[in-house]
Structure 1
Amino acid sequence: MTGLSYEDFYDPAYEPAASELVCEFAIEPAPEFDVVAAASRVASESSNGTWATLQVSGDVADLSATAFDAEDGRARVAYPPALFEAGNMAQILSCIAGNIMGMKAVERIRLLDCDWPASVVDGFPGPQFGTAVREEIFGAGDRPITATVPKPKVGLSTAQHAEVGYQAWTGGIDLLKDDENLTDQAFNPFADRLAESLAARDRAEEETGERKSYLVNVTADADTMLERVDAVAEAGGEYVMVDVVTAGWASVQSVRRRCERHGLAIHAHRAMHAAFDRIDDHGVSMRVLAQVARLCGVDHIHTGTADLGKLANEDTVGINEWLYADCHGLNDVLPVASGGLHPGLVPTLVDRVGTNVCVQAGGGVHGHPDGTHAGAKALRQAVDAAVDDVPLDEYADSHPELAAALDTWGSETPR
């Protein structure tokens, strides 16, 4: 038996094994602690320690997390893979982002990044499709795919919602998307909206000769979500949308398994993410949330607008690069740029994030002075101009819808 105290959880010379999950934290210690003492407590609380010195056997001690590289307000913690249940994201997060967020030993703590080893990643399926949806579903070639959300986000009747979709699709938009708080309300029931929107999609495909699809929000309790996934498949949809943070990662994993049965892709809306990631020195970064989403198996996820649009700044480019990068053989994820976009911002957006994305605009489509159909045309025209490297003003000379959008919004960023 050996004593296990906080000091045993820090090793300045530690070299993590390739099989260990390594997490990087920003730590502001409480006044009576330094960063080493705080990091030791993080490693202890998130693995097999507690406030009292424990008498433990060697086998138990082998499961201790180890903090290292603690300096300048940063520390890394290595977790042996035996701490984790294979494929259980809820359990993993309870470890690496659980009680430690409320410890008195830290004033602030933020989970910044994770280095996911194969020993952990192998328990997760990852996306079915990822960025391949651009070509496999839409045949989009080199251009970004486009999406829009009917506005107002709630309150439209089923018929109005489907008509907005039809106008957007025939104007050149690829994807109609429910907003995060539209599910199965009386003014627009889920089953009716699914049927009428897909019927409008079919008409739009016939008229335009282009593939169109619909991101219908299935978010609910887990059992209801699975029933809705089945309904989408039966109706001929290609996608479901899940509010992944509010629904919870365990339910996302359940949806991923059911979607594989039907061959459906998953669009991840990140509503509530800012409760974890907006404060720079506390919580969980959007980078980590995106990593978790990829492991759990979403095909799209919103990652911001690279400092454009109406939402707070974040590391969109860095997050997107991680979503594209190799992760022990998992499929990649298609980033979605959304939040206050309009045609005048598209060239700058594409310059910053590239073309392997989905560009989504809500008000920037439906707020067009000539309505949704013209707004959809303007967004598609802006995308085409950016891909062809033609200045928007020049492209607008022969595209009146884009010209009207530029007259209305210019290249200003909304707030």
Structure 2
Amino acid sequence: MVGITYEDFLDLGYDPADSDLVCEFYVEPATDQTAESAASWVASESSNGTWAELQVAGSVTDLSATACGITEMTVPGREDRDAYRVAIAYPDALFEPGNMPQVLSCIAGNILGMKAVDRIRLLDCDWPERLATSFPGPQFGTSVRQDVFDAGDRPITATVPKPKVGLSTEQHAQIGYEAWTGGLDLLKDDENLTDQAFNPFEDRLTETLAQRDRAQDETGDPKSYLLNVTASGREMLERVDLAAEHGCEYVMVDVVTAGWAAVQQVRERCATHGLAIHAHRAMHAGFDRLPDHGVSMRVLAQVARLCGVDQIHTGTANLGKLANEDTVGINAWLYADRYGLRDVLPMASGGLHPGLVPELVARCGTNIGVQAGGGVHGHPDGTHAGAKALRAAVDAAAAGRDIETAAAETPELATALEQWGTETPR
């Protein structure tokens, strides 16, 4: 029997089954392709098709993806191009349960380099229950705000020592102490600080936690540390074990650069210790910055939730230094019920300072984390004052109080507003 051809992957009348994974793509067909043929190529290449007509005995169409929707669309700056939103339905049998690398190899693999399309971007996924629940999801999610910090109705707060690399272990731990005693909840390693000679991993772990304990004793408030355990697989798991041994509540993983298989391993190991996972998204813009190609941050966040992170950076609702992002929409997906999987706490970071906090909370609500690096350590009076300013701004915004009124009561906040106003840094 002659095998399936590209036309067999197109059925605009197909109503996806509840068990199908339905993915939506932005597609610009190549000049020699129609919308229908380009959509067929995408469905074919991401399931069981190939460029040649096959001579295969028996039916293989039960594993075929189906291009089941094509809608014209535009992307700002590319209005002159023919572009379409294409829905592809993938049968459940295509996927190995609980194997995120395999899933992504299907829906965001070879198709991103196909000649049949000039541009293609994975925009969104509608995950079916059987596939979604084959992943563990988060252990804690947004509950960390209460369970770890007893934060009430306010966002939790965090900072990263700056410069992000180059500080000694002693300097790093001291900055943590100043930030914690200034009122912040979390100290976070940055994405490229792991185990370098100027600040070795194990020394940083023990010395920073000693300052954490000191700050907790002095303030009476819970404090925690987001320790970057990113490394090769075995080493990363050993670092998770060390973090638990020394009393960390969290570990941090650079989820994109480490890879989703590694994230799944970390999630499994963290479950044995009761540790939460903070996801740094370094390298995400290599996939999601271009609006007409790659993989959206929305999808990356979905994958992170399924794999089991508890917190993830989702942007600043266009208030900070990073390129435009659908922060509010991504956050809504992270909060929404997904077959009983726990939610995820979005972290707002990237160019934030106290003057931006009221608008950030207005756009994103209080069920978030607010992280500022330069917006704390760049305070004219230093880290401790910068931490007090950020915390005062967060408390005021959560309580619905005007930031100028709060500044009249907190000199450190008044100084921050004089320094940065309410302007967005570039």
TM-score, reference length from structure 2 = 0.97
Aligned to 2:9: 9
Q: Distance in 1 between matches of 2:160 and 2:203?
A: 17
Give a deviation string over 1:68-101, Cα, whole Å, max 9, x none. 1123111100001110011000000000000000
Letter of the 1:60 partner, please give it.
V
Aligned to 1:158: 169
Give a deviation string over 1:87-136, Cα, whole Å, max 9, x none. 00000000000000000000000000000001211210000000000000
Q: Distance in 1 between matches of 2:310 and 2:416?
A: 31
Letter of the 1:319 partner, please give it.
I
Q: Distance in 1 between matches of 2:195 and 2:115?
A: 42
Q: Distance in 1 between matches of 2:58 and 2:223?
A: 59
Aligned to 1:345: 356
**Alpha-carbon shift at residue 2 of structure 1 (Å):** 4.5
**Alpha-carbon shift at residue 57 of structure 1 (Å):** 4.8
Letter of the 2:372 partner, please give it.
A
1:62 aligned onto 2:62: yes
Q: 2:233 aligns with which of 205, 219, 222?
A: 222
* Structure 2, unaligned runs of 5 or more: 73-83
Q: Which moved more, 1:382-391 or 1:188-197?
A: 382-391
1:241 aligned onto 2:247: no
Letter of the 1:216 partner, please give it.
L
Q: Distance in 2 between matches of 1:397 and 1:232?
A: 41
- Across the two proteins, how many residue pairs are aligned to each other? 415
Q: 1:127 aligns with which of 138, 147, 169?
A: 138
1:336 aligned onto 2:339: no
Aligned to 1:38: 38
**Alpha-carbon shift at residue 59 of structure 1 (Å):** 4.5
1:312 aligned onto 2:291: no
Q: In the alignment, is the contact (CA less than 8 A) between 1:35 and 1:71 conserved in 2?
A: no
Q: Taking structure 1 as reference, are residues 65 and 221 closer, same or farther at Cα in structure 2, changes over 3 Å only?
A: same
- Look up the SS of the partner of 1:192 in the other structure: helix
Q: In the alignment, is the contact (CA less than 8 A) between 1:10 and 1:67 conserved in 2?
A: yes
Aligned to 2:278: 267
**Alpha-carbon shift at residue 387 of structure 1 (Å):** 1.1
- Look up the SS of the partner of 2:42 in the other structure: helix
- Look up the SS of the partner of 1:336 in the other structure: strand
Aligned to 2:377: 366
Equivalent residues in 2 for 1:196-235 (5 A)?
Answer: 196-235=207-246
Q: Distance in 2 between matches of 1:122 and 1:399?
A: 47
**Alpha-carbon shift at residue 55 of structure 1 (Å):** 3.3
Q: In the alignment, is the contact (CA less than 8 A) between 2:2 and 2:53 conserved in 1?
A: no
Letter of the 2:44 partner, please give it.
S
* Structure 1, unaligned runs of 5 or more: none
Q: In the alignment, is the contact (CA less than 8 A) between 1:36 and 1:71 conserved in 2?
A: no
Letter of the 2:7 partner, please give it.
E
Provide the aligned C-alpha RMSD in A. Answer: 0.7
Letter of the 2:156 partner, please give it.
I
Aligned to 2:294: 283
Q: 2:419 aligns with which of 380, 386, 408?
A: 408
**Alpha-carbon shift at residue 3 of structure 1 (Å):** 3.0
Q: Which runs of 4+ in 1 moved over 3 A?
A: 55-59
Aligned to 1:376: 387
Aligned to 1:188: 199
**Alpha-carbon shift at residue 58 of structure 1 (Å):** 5.0
Q: Distance in 1 between matches of 2:51 and 2:284?
A: 31
Letter of the 2:351 partner, please give it.
G
Aligned to 2:154: 143
Q: In the alignment, is the contact (CA less than 8 A) between 2:45 and 2:111 conserved in 1?
A: yes
Give a deviation string over 1:205-261, Cα, whole Å, max 9, x none. 000010000001000101100000000000000000000000000000000000000
Aligned to 1:28: 28
Q: Taking structure 1 as reference, are residues 240 and 32 closer, same or farther at Cα in structure 2, changes over 3 Å only?
A: same
TM-score, reference length from structure 1 = 0.99
Aligned to 1:172: 183
Q: In the alignment, is the contact (CA less than 8 A) between 1:27 and 1:75 conserved in 2?
A: yes
Q: Distance in 1 between matches of 2:371 and 2:3?
A: 56
Aligned to 2:80: none
Aligned to 1:254: 265
Q: Distance in 2 between matches of 1:41 and 1:245?
A: 27
Letter of the 1:277 partner, please give it.
D
Q: Distance in 2 between matches of 1:69 and 1:55?
A: 28
Q: Which moved more, 1:76-85 or 1:51-60?
A: 51-60
Letter of the 1:23 partner, please give it.
C
Q: 1:300 aligns with which of 311, 328, 334?
A: 311
**Alpha-carbon shift at residue 390 of structure 1 (Å):** 1.2
Letter of the 2:101 partner, please give it.
A
Q: Distance in 1 between matches of 2:3 and 2:59?
A: 13
- Look up the SS of the partner of 2:400 in the other structure: coil
Letter of the 2:231 partner, please give it.
A
Q: Distance in 1 between matches of 2:194 and 2:350?
A: 20
